[in-house]
Structure 1
């Protein structure tokens, strides 16, 4: 999910990129900093680079280790969602679901390593999201269209094996987060259930105002789900729907702004975080939002 939705919903200014034209200081940091990278992965160094940027920026924000620890301790640190691009790159290149499933423990270990390092430098409240139901992605519905190698969920039209894959990632992540809670009971470790928050819409899009469905893209190049690997969104040959708020899927892998707002409310105003976010971090006490993420 994009950090923009977090900032807007909490009444904060839009979150600037760490590598942009931005002056680091404690006053500026109150609006948050985004360390996300387009196409970033957990493996292949990407997440480590983001963490490195975060640590390198600290001396520009606070003057002493104690000051930094205090500042980070009052911040909401968003770690994720991570892993989606590791799997997307592999699946889109033709690797089998079974083969890509072997990546999951390595991805989870990398996420957990970063969470532990953030705690060591002072983080007290961290949100760690799980992965979305990728079996409902227009990208994969198109890639596997007509294939007899996958099965579909009759209630959603999504690819069963890919959603089970995402759930496997999420279950392993939750198990490891429970271990961190045992070691650091003083730290707020909040799991964000992107999967089931989004699944509400895939099960019943009309109920939530997505009258043009949850599987077809708003911006694309034709095909059964308006997704075309040869005509990406923003290509001169692509088209964009007239009412994006009635679509859940934007371009195949990314969701629409309306979709992200819906998921945000389900997470931070509803029951799709563990523990519930509003019981741990009332928005009236909210401090800067900082994010390490993959941005596809």
Structure 2
């Protein structure tokens, strides 16, 4: 289903709209997602993967324009607490609606992809996953504590590209690096960050079964 909702929140938040105001948009965004899912089910879709939102409080773009009060930052990750709570609120509301869809359509498989926690494992333990150049600083940027500037985008002549992108989580302050996306996708397809888990529905054959033999 794509990561629906990100830009609906990014624009008002980036222009300084209060979080409480933007929070009022969540039901509208969720209803749009649910409407699209229902339309696909009516067209015959049997399996749908619906992702939640990322922890936007960890993005350099928000950290650059974030709060000045140190109490606004998570002491472990350095991320903006209120923005991450906002992402969690969106995800919670989405899961409630998805559960309802599943109840009404028992023959359809609705899979929730937990982008938030799949990403948070990196922010909580970056060295464990090889992100040794920092989780909160963009690889492609033009200086500052988070190497991000809203008026300068990656590709501009003023921008400087880091030497080891695979050791950074953020590519340009708004998007993640290939290395981060690779870990997140692996966590989704092979780990515990989907409900239900992919591996529980598509068990891999054991070596003794060989290729082409059913594992069920």
TM-score, normalising length from structure 2? 0.92
State the shift of 1:256 in Å.
0.1
Look up the match of 2:12. Answer: 90
Look up the match of 2:27. Answer: 105
Alignment of 1:84-163 (within 5 A): 84-144=6-66, 147-148=68-69, 151-163=72-84
Structure 1 residues 208, 179: closer, same or farther in 2, change over 3 A? same
CA distance in 2, matches of 1:231, 1:126: 37
Alignment of 1:137-286 (within 5 A): 137-144=59-66, 147-148=68-69, 151-281=72-202
Secondary structure of 1:155 counterpart: coil
Name which structure has the greater RCO, CA cutoff 8 Å, separation 6+: 1
CA distance in 2, matches of 1:278, 1:155: 31
- Computed over aligned residues only, the root mean square deviation of the Cα atoms, in angstroms, reads 1.5
Is the Cα–Cα contact under 8 Å of residues 196 and 272 in structure 1 kept in the other structure? yes
State the shift of 1:149 in Å.
9.2
State the shift of 1:237 in Å.
0.1
Secondary structure of 2:184 counterpart: helix
CA distance in 1, matches of 2:32, 2:143: 37
State the shift of 1:115 in Å.
0.4
What CA deviation, in whole Å up to 9, does each residue of 1:219-246 have, x standing for no partner? 0111110001122111110011011000
**Where in structure 2 are there 5+ consecutive unaligned residues?**
206-216
**Where in structure 1 are there 5+ consecutive unaligned residues?**
1-78, 285-296
**Moved beyond 6 Å, runs of 4+:** none
What CA deviation, in whole Å up to 9, does each residue of 1:161-216 have, x standing for no partner? 00000000000000000000100011110000000000001001001000111110
Equivalenced residue count is 205
State the shift of 1:105 in Å.
0.5
CA distance in 2, matches of 1:282, 1:273: 15
Is the Cα–Cα contact under 8 Å of residues 221 and 239 in structure 1 kept in the other structure? yes
